Amino acid sequence: MSTSSTAPAVILLGPQGREPIGDAPAGAPAWRIVRMDRPLSADRPWAERVAFLAAHAALWQDAPQVMAWDDDIEIQAVAVAECLRLMRQHGLSLCQPGLAWNSHFADATTLHNPCFVYRHTSRLDSAVLAFGTAALRRLLPLMQAMPSRNALARLLPACQDVPQAGAAVLDAVQALRTSAPADEEFAEPDWPAVLAEDGPQHEAALSWGGLGLRGQRVALFDDSRETFLGLLAAGYACAVAEPLPIGEVFLQHFTRSLAPPPAALDLRAPDQRGSAPTLRRSPIIDHRRAPSAV
């Protein structure tokens, strides 16, 4: 079913979720608040969200976008409007606002980087997500089957048609996560057997490329690699007191760029697909190693 470009986006909140702060600018994309009728669980809030969305499809099926965030997220109305606008302008179907530097976070790649409009990443923070409606319909069965935060943070980006050009952190927009992540968010997901094989969901936390503030498109796997790495390092250099973590981030991305880009995660049964692609590991580092904190 097609969606109308004039229909308002839907923002799905729990009973205690905080509405956008302030007023949206004139002419900004419109939205409406839909509240669930019961509190979200702390560890698997997307299980309740998916059940609600499946049971109340009429509330969102004509909306161009659906955005949802946890009760501890604070975000300005101007940021919500800009998030929706950027998604439409750049054809982004899955993204999150960059988390402000004073936020709690589970992965440093989700923190705001001031050198970018947006970055394609291998991780998202499930505390605040925005979907194009068509992408949400496609991803609902996956989110229903594996609703844990740590699994979704890695599976949703890995299931994009082109992982290195799919899920995005919108650095032009910021949100504040005010509560510490649960321990589960730092743990390795309990993967089912079909996902135990190598694939993009096992990648370290990486930014694949994106759109710089000056309008340049950069990527980790083409001849703009050095520019991308410079922007990434320069943006995060402002956020740390010591330079060592920036060097580690630079090295992690540089060495990953020596191997081919990741293929999309294929969730079909083995007898329904061709041979699964294998990722050549960099000879310098093991990408399964836990990433260093920024």
Alpha-carbon gap, residue 279 to 52, rounded angstroms: 37
Half-sphere exposure of 45 (CA within 13 A, CB side): 25
Q: How many CB atoms lie within 10 A of CB 12?
A: 20
Alpha-carbon gap, residue 121 to 190, rounded angstroms: 22
Higher pLDDT, 74 or 272: 74
Whether the per-residue pLDDT at 5 is higher than 70: the answer is no
Q: How confident is the model at residue 251 (pLDDT cuts 50, 70, 90)?
A: confident
Alpha-carbon gap, residue 36 to 15, rounded angstroms: 6
Q: What per-residue confidence (pLDDT) applies to 285? A: 37
Tell me which residue of 54, 9, 51, 50 sits closest to 31, measured CA to CA. Answer: 9
- The single-letter DSSP state of residue 47 is H
Q: Rg of the chain's alpha carbons, rounded to an integer?
A: 18
Q: What per-residue confidence (pLDDT) applies to 289? A: 43
131-140, 186-195, 283-292, range with the lowest pLDDT: 283-292
Residue-wise pLDDT tens digits, 117-174: 999 999 999 999 999 999 999 999 999 999 999 999 999 999 999 999 999 999 999 9
Q: What per-residue confidence (pLDDT) applies to 3? A: 47
